[in-house]
Structure 1
Amino acid sequence: MFALNILDYSPIDEGSTAREALLQTTELAKLAESAGYKRFWVAEHHKVMSVAGSTPEMLMMHLATSTSSIRIGSGGVMLPHYSAYKVAENFRMLEALHPDRIDLGIGRSRSYLKVNQALNGNKQISYDQQIDDLQQYLTDSGELVATPVTETSPELWLLGTGGGSAELAAAKGTAYAYAHFARPAASGVEVVKTYRNSFRPSKLLNEPKVILAVFAVVAETAEEAEEIAKAFDLWLLFVESDMPPPYYPSIETAKARGFSAREQEKVDKNRQRMIIGDAETVKAEIERIAERFKADEVTIIPNISGAENRMNGIRLLAEAFGLSKS
């Protein structure tokens, strides 16, 4: 049986604020812990005004302090934006204060051009080299030591959607988180298989380990889940537009607005990225996909409208899977 995790974006609901969104993320993390989820990760998004999650390591410190046992992680830190040394120091600090509870998920998704320039100052260093540097800093295997020095290390996960990331994770000996929600193609099974077959042990990991990340919309009934999903459909359209509003649209807004014929085509395509339904339906689909990918863990992304809907969704799914409560 695979473990279940949560990845939260800290969505800013229509009529709400960034502060409220972050406090809602805190409550979601507490619920995930009590419901029996293994990990709670937070994302890094820049210039996406409808989500508050821009600095995962900062939010992680708050969440780790607000909980006691669930693993807290980044999903993920976009490494090309930063100094590998500073990332190592940040996560060693987290690990020092919360040993054996910290996950460092890294990725390389590019943001808006001006954001990239503001964050990294046009640094010229390869992602491959940054990962090598990061691993050295986390294992004290280079000349330069990242402090604080800790007895334990954060788990290192490489996030990706294709063969390149899978091969890199295998070559570097990191765990691999496959973003099925971003690219739900059948080829993903081969991507994960390539990672497992090519994996080379490292100082941080002896055997390959795979997380599969999925969008899930869970409600009491299939009809209610479909209503919630319509707001999700609209949010995805918004974030892909030139002028997205600074909030996550409500279910009422989505109902009143509707979709044009062209938008409906995009909605239909985006629906391939989601699992929608009551808890038993979503559970069955998650089990099917997890079996196809031979996943060790599945991460649920409850990026839906309404804090109560997010809380209720992960509660219902935990009950359907029979997770043990703390």
Structure 2
Amino acid sequence: MVSLNILDYSLVDEGSSPSQALHETAELAKLADQLGYKRFWVPEQHYAYSIASSTPEMLMMYLATVTKRIRIGSGGVMIPHYSPYKIAENFRMLEALHPHRIDLGIGNSPGGRLVQAALHEEKGETKLPYEQQVGDIIKYLTDDIDSEHRFQKLIATPAIESKPEVWMLGAGGRSTKIAAENGTSYIYAHFFHPSPTGKEVIQQYRQNFQPSIFQNNPNVGVAVFVIIGETEQEAESLAQAFFMWLVAIETAKNPMHFPSVETAKNYIFSSFEQQKVSQLRKRAIIGTPSNVKEELLQLAEYYHADELTIVPNFPGADKRMKGIELLAAAFQLGS
């Protein structure tokens, strides 16, 4: 059976606060741990009022402390903004305190221009190529002092024996090639950009995979938005709130909160927004637990995926907790 994971955005629900959202993420992680999910990841989202997870490493440390078994990871760290050495130190610290439970998901999303300007202020115009940044992180995580490198003898501390799992995140392009060449896992962002070429991209990763110190065989994940209701009607009402929120996010409106079911019910989509919603449906699986399970398994079969990561972006912490519980029962996790 394919492994099941969660990527949680720490949504700031209507009537809630960012602080409460982060505590709700912790409760969701603890429940996922008890239910038998394999991984629980959090993203790096800057200047998004309705998403509380801006610094995944800090949230990961808390989540790893309040859980026992589940792997905790970043989905992902946007490494062009940061020093590869500092990223390696951060994740070695996490791994040292929570050995064999830490995932480093690496991404390349730059964020908006204002975010980029603030994160790169006074860093100059010269930037390391993305491939080199990934290579640097791997050098530091593996204590490689034999290969040629501009900081050949430099070790990332704490110096420990275990390593976090490394995942490349993307929807094709460079991330697939980098994952294959460096022998890391790869996760395809179906929720971001479902494409007919996705199957091809994953096949290329498998064909070109080079065994590494991280793993001997390729490992593929697929991430998808999931909205789960006890009935089809409930799932659709939850989905309307999701569509309202994501349309706003992707048209640069930066909403303060994730809308409630009631707010979404009373919202009238423009003709442009209705067209957008029809496209968004391709990025999500919506329905009852049994229907969602069936579609997830079809998705895994289509992509030949080893793991599935659900992104439960629907309103209400109680609904999200109930949703992952119902899905775990449908998949018979932990049994």
Query: TM range, normalised to the smaller chain?
Result: over 0.9
| Alignment correspondent of 1:140 | 143
| Alignment correspondent of 1:127 | 130
| Alignment correspondent of 2:233 | 223
1:307 to 291, 308, 317: 317
Q: Following the alignment from structure 2 to structure 1, what is the Cα–Cα distance between the partners of residues 281 and 91? A: 35
- After superposition, the Cα gap between the structure-2 partners of 1:242 and 1:109, relative to the gap in structure 1 and judged at 3 Å, is closer
Q: Following the alignment from structure 2 to structure 1, what is the Cα–Cα distance between the partners of residues 157 and 181? A: 26
1:102-149 deviations in Å (ceiling 9; x for gaps): 000001011011211222335511111111110010000031100001
1:47 maps to 2:50: no
2:188 to 175, 178, 186: 178
1:16 maps to 2:16: yes
Kindly indicate whether the alpha-carbon contact (under 8 Å) linking 1:163 and 1:194 is maintained by their aligned counterparts in 2.
no
Kindly indicate whether the alpha-carbon contact (under 8 Å) linking 2:245 and 2:255 is maintained by their aligned counterparts in 1.
no
Kindly indicate whether the alpha-carbon contact (under 8 Å) linking 1:10 and 1:22 is maintained by their aligned counterparts in 2.
yes
Tell me the CA shift for residue 225 of structure 1.
Answer: 0.2
Gaps of 5+ in 1: none
Matched position secondary structure for 1:10: coil
| Alignment correspondent of 1:26 | 26
- The aligned amino acid for 1:30 is K
| Alignment correspondent of 1:77 | 77
Matched position secondary structure for 1:237: helix
Matched position secondary structure for 1:257: coil
Q: TM-score, normalized by length of structure 1?
A: 0.98
| Alignment correspondent of 1:162 | 172
Q: Following the alignment from structure 2 to structure 1, what is the Cα–Cα distance between the partners of residues 94 and 111? A: 25
Q: TM-score, normalized by length of structure 2?
A: 0.95
- After superposition, the Cα gap between the structure-2 partners of 1:318 and 1:184, relative to the gap in structure 1 and judged at 3 Å, is same
Tell me the CA shift for residue 242 of structure 1.
Answer: 3.5
Tell me the CA shift for residue 164 of structure 1.
Answer: 2.5
- The aligned amino acid for 1:187 is T
| Alignment correspondent of 2:264 | 254
Kindly indicate whether the alpha-carbon contact (under 8 Å) linking 2:191 and 2:225 is maintained by their aligned counterparts in 1.
yes
Q: Following the alignment from structure 1 to structure 2, what is the Cα–Cα distance between the partners of residues 204 and 321? A: 28
Give the paired residue count: 325
Tell me the CA shift for residue 201 of structure 1.
Answer: 1.5
- The aligned amino acid for 1:31 is L
1:29-54 deviations in Å (ceiling 9; x for gaps): 00100111000000010011110010
- The aligned amino acid for 1:299 is T
| Alignment correspondent of 2:163 | 153
1:55-98 deviations in Å (ceiling 9; x for gaps): 00000000000001110000000010100100000000000000
Q: Following the alignment from structure 1 to structure 2, what is the Cα–Cα distance between the partners of residues 159 and 242? A: 23
| Alignment correspondent of 2:101 | 101
| Alignment correspondent of 1:188 | 198
Kindly report the root-mean-square deviation, in angstroms, between the aligned alpha carbons of the 2 structures: 1.0
Tell me the CA shift for residue 244 of structure 1.
Answer: 2.5
Q: Following the alignment from structure 2 to structure 1, what is the Cα–Cα distance between the partners of residues 267 and 301? A: 38
1:177-202 deviations in Å (ceiling 9; x for gaps): 11011111221111100100011112
Q: Following the alignment from structure 1 to structure 2, what is the Cα–Cα distance between the partners of residues 18 and 302? A: 17
Matches for 1:262-301 after TM superposition, within 5 Å: 262-301=272-311
Q: Following the alignment from structure 1 to structure 2, what is the Cα–Cα distance between the partners of residues 314 and 218? A: 8
Q: Following the alignment from structure 1 to structure 2, what is the Cα–Cα distance between the partners of residues 186 and 130? A: 29
| Alignment correspondent of 1:200 | 210
Q: Following the alignment from structure 1 to structure 2, what is the Cα–Cα distance between the partners of residues 168 and 92? A: 21
Q: Following the alignment from structure 2 to structure 1, what is the Cα–Cα distance between the partners of residues 87 and 118? A: 17
Q: Following the alignment from structure 1 to structure 2, what is the Cα–Cα distance between the partners of residues 258 and 34? A: 40
